[in-house]
Structure 1
Amino acid sequence: MPHPPEPLTTAGPSSSSGASASGAGRASPSTSDQPEPNPFQAHMMIGPLESLWIHAVKRYEHNTGVSLPTCKAFDSEDAIMKYVEQHEADFKKYRADGPQELRSKIKPIAAVVQTLCGVFGETVTMPYSPVKAVFAAISVIIQASRKVSEDFDAVLDAFDTMEHHLRIIKPIAAVDMHDALKEASVKLLGQILVVLGVITNLQGKGRLKLWLKKLCQSKEVPSALDELGRLATNHHQTVSAVTLHTVNRTLMMLENSRDWHEQDQNFTRTCLAQISDIARETHTLLGQTMASLADLTASRSILEGIQAALLHMTDETMKDKKDGHVDKICQWLQYPDCSVKLNSVMSSRVPGTGSWFLDGNDFGSFISGVVRVVWLHGQAGSGKSTMMAAAIRELQAHCASSNGECIALTHLFDVTNGAQSQGIRALLSSLLCQLAYHRDDARKALLAARSEHMDGHNQPSLEKMQHHLWRLIRRSTHLFVVVDALDEAHIDDLMPLLWSLRAHTNVSLLMSSRAEVHPRMDLIHLSDVQIHMSTELVARDIETFLHCAVDSGGALAHMSANYAELVQQKLGDGAAGNFRWASLQVKEIASVAGLPTFICEALENLSPTLGDFYDQVLSRIPKARCNVVHNLLAWLLFSEDSLSKIEFSELLAFSYPKSQTMPVFDPELRPSSTDDVMRVISSTFISYDGDYVRLAHASVRDHLFALPASSPFHVDAHRAYCVMTRACLAYLTHVGVDTMPHAKRCDKSDYPLDSHVTSFWMLYADCGLERQQDLEQDLIEFFKLNKWIYGQTDAGYELLRPIHFAVEGSRARIVRLLYNHLAAVLEAWHNEGGRPLHILMGCWSGGDADFETFQALLDTGVDVNDRDIHGQTALHIAAIRTSAMSEEKPLSTRLYVPKFPVSSMPGRPVLYVPFSRQARM
């Protein structure tokens, strides 16, 4: 029994002899007694590509005994089709649709052969045309199959399998074709000839029907077809890789060109969009074949590279079209920038992961509009945000190639980002600002709305924001709205907004959250499709991740092959669908990857759950360092704004004497480098990527809050605020609160934490006073020493009385403390013209803190009838502000009317201003 043919890998011609005469019983055209001399023996210049092809032909002739040059009568698609037509009656004996089936199988194979043969070009002289050789080989099979019914069925099946493997091959221009692609094309063309030769060989031995019956005696055809599929996949990947390389080089040259005009940019973007569409279509076809997981992962990686180039090109073309108006809108609406989280998860994502979702039917139906609302959910650490980030990129690429017919709007809730709100206002702001960026009409509408709110100095109400959003949505063709991590937001407040988004038929909504989220049934009713990131599905991505980790360039690349396999098995089994657990274990093992003894030890002591792993890492922190680590973690948990690396490093310059409650700031204790901070807290808990320091994952926050009171890292929110407040007071005391000149005070190079401390220390103090009364005395001592303090206002940094900032910031507890314990200081401020109610009404935003501060002032006996230099009471300020904000329910009515009879301006009722303005509108 002959062995299965080896794959075509040799670059030079075979040393085997030329084609022999046709053997007995072998189905081949008759040959003359004096066969023509082998044309390949002729003396000619042979290049590497020609050598590959000559070798393939020699192998075919050696295995089949057929000399291809003798089959000149059937060396084209037309000749074969004519032969089938002439013998149609014979083929119909076996199947009524035999001729039609045969033609339908041959046509796609012929098209691929024509494509691949283009690699040789017109300038290459071949002794026998590759396209003629392949068609001649096909004709040999067809002539033989006309005689045996089982062979005919087997040939149809073989051709069908060939077409299945080759469908991912797309037409390519031979001009300036990359060398890597030329080689892949010739190898694939040669393997087609190998498959045809195997079929011919088995036909001659009467064993082709055994393959059709799936008997083990005939493995030659499956082996050859499998290799054909592998080479077809390799060809597709080479095409994609060369395309990506060419695209990136072209973009680089264009960006460096001074003559890159707008029309050139638009043309390039259009071409990239078409390339992206073709890459997506080809990747989809590959998924429909029997490609391996590794092949699909590699294909998706290349596809995403092409999409990234398209998105980069889109950003470049839009950059010149934007002006400062978008910035004004973003500042006014306090746009919550989600790019930090998005970039972080995308940078840590292993290319190609998530194919089960991104290439699945549900996501495909979502993009096509068949499904409108999708809810993706899974356990903590399963990779939901990473999956959503990949989906966002996919949607953005889809929209970029749609010529503006659709837009992708995204928002990622993030509890690890102290600067981001988790409420409905953040989501509304995010959607509105993105619409302003993408659409001119949205930008104009929101600029007009901004001018109606004191040129952006007043915040719009939630009702106004929703009004603008619905109006802009109604003017849109199609919007994709992606909202990640609903479990990290105030989801109960968001549900009405999500239902309203669903009510608009031109909106498609993709959401994610943990599976055990509170309003689970509400999300089920809201969504058309619910996709659970089960252990089995995530395991596929973990398998890909672990394979990349042990592969060349991975974190475990220097590990021996035996241990690499063991690590993949142990971590794959132990992950239980938790991607974060697997990634953290890889980081742990990476430090000992070259030490087999330690590898075995690490694998034997794997923590069973993510929480156990966190406890294990915390237990390694030296006892003497626990308090410092606890304080740093508290800052990351409760900081009102993101902390840069240099700001975070500044927190290590505090000492905590046991004899006093107040810490001491000492510049001599500053770390020599911001990178040194990374040695204090493990990257398990903190992310140091980019310019800012943040909690590494939402599960870290959950774990820290869940620690028992007996743990040295137990977190109590109010105590944490007290620690932060005292650190701020110590910092301000060292800097000099009311003595430092304004210019020097803003010099962050000297005191990088100054801006953060000045902006938020009073907020931290107000939160700490809610339950920790021991903070009062430290604050009182600070206020006694500092009658004036610097603070940030709309006009910049100003030196004002503490009560002014407390009222302006709506810090009700600070207001009460000042009035109860520092009456003399407040009396001096009142004598200077300070009027707390006027200040509060002038910056009123309608939040709970405003009402609490208003009540605190009334409780301390502030005169509601006090007038300013213009003769106005605070009620008049409220009435004017009500008119400017276009409030439906007058602020003055909500605050004053139910409680106090307030005198009006002489000769003019107190509500004259709002009502008279409304009459003129």
Structure 2
Amino acid sequence: MSFGFSLGDFLAVIQLANKIRKDFAGAPSEFKGALDVVRSLSFVLHDAEVAASERDLSPEEETGLQTIRDGCQNILSELESTLNKYTELESQQTGIGPKVKKTWKRLSLEPDDIRNLRSRVNENISLLNAFTLRRAKDDTTKLVRYQEDQEQQAILEWLTPADYAPQQNDFLKQRQAGTGQWLLDSAEFKSWVETKKQTLFCPGIPGAGKTILTSVVVEELSIRSHSDNSIGVAYIYCNFKRQNEQTLEHLLASVLKQLVQARSTLPESVKSLYNRYKSKKTQPSVDDISTVLQSVAAEYSRVFIVIDALDECRAQGCRTQMLSKLSDLQTKCGTNLFATSRFIPEIIEQFKQGSSLEIRANARDVWGYIDGRISDLPSFVRNRQDLQQEIKTEIVKAVDGMFLLAQLHLDSLIGKKSIKTVRSALKKLPAGSGAYDYAYDAAMERIEGQLSDQRDLAKQVLSWITCAKRPLTTIELQHALAVEVGEVELDEDNFSPIEDMVSICAGLVTVDEESRIIRLVHYTTQEYFERTQERWFSSAEADITTICVTYLSFTVFRSGYCPTDSCFEERLLLNPLYH
């Protein structure tokens, strides 16, 4: 119920109607019609009150209902007064004294004034019924829409549970204002975005900032699609940790899912695909997904498909087949394809016919990034503009196209204790092909220099993230590191705060806010630890195996397998590492 219209407004009228029915209950047949409509009005008033209380009234509904309520109040008051005109009070003698009794005047027909009032009451009944019916129809429409939305969500989830939006949002949050504008302003990008059936391939060295710039492109295209629903946008972030799930079917289904999500109604071709395969309890074939994808893409005037980190996509046929299917889609539907990758000959060969633009860390972008993180540095840096300028100049010089180096170099300055140590570090900033290993070595040396408990926890965090076969959520890692060998249950007092895990890892670990995935800052970090695992955590696999076996031996799992899906889902919810 809205603020300006209360339940009391209805109750007062209902009470008046009930009072009239009670006071004139013994009325002769000439007044029966009037009392019957009063009875009907009380029921309809109650129905309208229930309908109005179920959800807020719009201002128009509130005004209309208030007018009807006032009309009912006035008519009932007038009817009560008129009925009283046809009664007389008669004194009767009883054993305990005189008693006043209401008697009715003798009439042969229903009086005209009563007939007129009865007609007016009926009009208000009709108005209230119309209001209740409209509310019911609105509720029915909403229910149907809700059911359709639920069906659509079920079909989209069946296509693929993957959702790249949280990653997109997390990557955009890392971007400093203005980063990547050079790409959007480039002749290559403008030509690509303005012309149908175009491909723009953007290769770059490791750590050049390809993923962040991809998120900038997705955001630019999304803005265009929001103002023009005839434009479709789909994007994929390939991830070396998700190669097992990022199959050809998954990747194509993800593109289809995103194009379908942007439509106001579910295309019939998608419903048909779902109905055909759902009964078999199987997933659609690549060819069937491709056919439906072409059908859905054809409903748009423009379709843009963006793929980041093709080099992290499975090479065993998946990457080549996906590009082949997207090429067919481009030929038949005029779609535009934007892709990034490292400089891998096999991938470069597949894009030789299209336009290309190398992604390198732009000096202005690096400058802006450092500006945005000056607050992370010690106070003696924050208070010295000349030192800030020196830091920016030296880092930009050392980066040489590798944006990630700016982050690593800046992280290396956070713990410095004086201006002299900062300047000394700036003189030793590594550059060139070996810069990453040098920076990662330096980060690990900072970790080694921490207190023993912090050092050990940092190495546990890094080893779990590096060796895990899929991305880990923060709660999963917290559970893993809280397991104590020899115990039969988890002690939540043994949890380490996520912010502590991140801070003791010297800038090598980050948390994606929306997905709550805790990960290494870059693919090059993963590659570094794979090469140097024996040096930093040689027993990682054995330690992880011991933890997992201990976890599975907990008392909570001794009941055995889960007999129902809901039981299994509850177990996963209560025991995140079990997933």
Q: TM-score range by the shorter chain?
A: 0.5 to 0.7
Q: Which residue of 2 aligns with 1:644?
A: 473
Shift of the alpha carbon at 1:437? 0.7
Which runs of 5 or more residues in structure 1 are unaligned?
A: 1-256, 262-318, 658-662, 760-921
| RCO comparison, higher one (Cα < 8 Å, 6+) | 2
Shift of 1:697: 1.9
State how 1:425-824 maps to structure 2 within 5 Å.
425-440=249-264, 442-455=266-279, 457-490=281-314, 491-516=319-344, 518-525=346-353, 527=354, 529-534=355-360, 538-550=362-374, 558-592=382-416, 595-608=418-431, 609-622=435-448, 629=458, 631-637=460-466, 639=468, 642-655=471-484, 667=491, 670-671=494-495, 673-687=497-511, 689-690=513-514, 691-707=516-532, 710-713=534-537, 720=541, 723-739=543-559, 754-757=575-578, 759=579
| Partners of 2:277 and 2:284 within 8 A in 1 | yes
Distance 1:741 1:383, change over 3 A: closer
CA distance in 2, matches of 1:499, 1:752: 41
Deviation at 1:352, TM superposition (A): 0.6
- Give distance in 2, aligned partners of 1:733 and 1:338: 35
1:416-427 aligned at under 5 Å gives the runs 416=241, 418=242, 421-427=245-251
CA contact (8 A) 2:172 2:216 kept: yes
Structure 2: distance between partners of 1:597 and 1:746: 61
Q: Is the 8 A contact 1:382 1:577 kept in 2?
A: yes
Deviations along 1:107-128, one digit per CA (max 9) or x if unpaired, are xxxxxxxxxxxxxxxxxxxxxx
Aligned partner of 1:358 in structure 2 is 184
Does the CA contact (< 8 Å) of 2:477 and 2:577 recur in 1?
no
The question of whether the paired residues in 2 share the 8 Å contact of 1:571 and 1:582 is answered with yes
One-letter amino acid of the counterpart of residue 367, structure 2: E
Amino acid at match of 1:653: A
Alpha-carbon RMSD across the aligned residues, in angstroms, is 3.9
Deviation at 1:410, TM superposition (A): 1.2
Normalised by the size of structure 1, how large is the TM-score? 0.42
Which one of 218, 223, 243 corresponds to residue 397 of structure 1?
223
- Equivalent residue letter for 2:335: V
Which segment is superposed worse, 563-572 or 504-513?
504-513
After superposition, the Cα gap between the structure-2 partners of 1:461 and 1:640, relative to the gap in structure 1 and judged at 3 Å, is farther
Q: 2:240 aligns with which of 366, 391, 415?
A: 415
Identity over aligned residues, as a percent?
19
**CA drift at 1:503:** 1.8
Alpha-carbon distance, 1:440 to partner? 4.6
**1:53 alignment counterpart:** none
| Cα distance, 1:647–1:756 mapped onto 2, change above 3 Å | closer
Larger mean Cα displacement after TM superposition, 581-590 or 319-328: 319-328
The separation in 2 between residues aligned to 1:335 and 1:634, in whole angstroms, is 28
Q: 1:554 to 1:499 in 2, by over 3 A?
A: farther
d(CA) in 2 for partners of 1:456, 1:700: 43
1:387 Cα deviation (Å)?
0.7
SS at match of 1:532: coil
Give the secondary-structure state (helix, strand or coil) at the position aligned to 1:380. coil
Letter in 2 for 1:616: A
Deviations 1:684-731 (A, max 9, x none): 234363433223222222222232x6412369xxx73x6544422211
For residues 521-540 of structure 1, what are the alpha-carbon distances to aligned partners after superposition, in whole Å with 9 as ceiling and x for unaligned? Answer: 12223x2x1101246xx223
**CA distance, structure 2, for counterparts of residue 332 and residue 570 of structure 1:** 51
**Alignment check: 8 A CA contact 1:746 1:755 kept:** no
- Structure 1 residue 628, shift from structure 2 partner: 5.7
**In structure 1, distance between residues paired with 2:231 and 2:479:** 46
Asked if the contact 1:336–1:429 (Cα under 8 Å) also holds between the matched residues in 2, the reply is no
1:357-406 CA distances to partner (integer Å, 9 max, x unpaired)? 1112111111211671100111111111111111111111112222x221
Contact residue 366 and residue 374 of structure 1 kept, 8 A: yes
Q: In the aligned structure 1, how far is the partner of 2:380 from the partner of 2:297? A: 49
Match of 2:150 in 1: 324
**What number of residue pairs does the alignment pair up?**
428
Further displaced range: 639-648 or 608-617? 639-648
Matches of residues 23-422 of structure 1 in structure 2 within 5 Å? 323-369=149-195, 372-402=198-228, 404-416=229-241, 418=242, 421-422=245-246
How big is the shift at 1:442?
4.8
Are 1:432 and 1:469, in contact at CA under 8 Å, matched by a contact in 2?
A: yes
Question: What's the counterpart of residue 177 of structure 1?
Answer: none
Shift of 1:494: 2.6
Secondary structure of 2:537's aligned partner = coil
Q: 1:603 to 1:749 in 2, by over 3 A?
A: farther
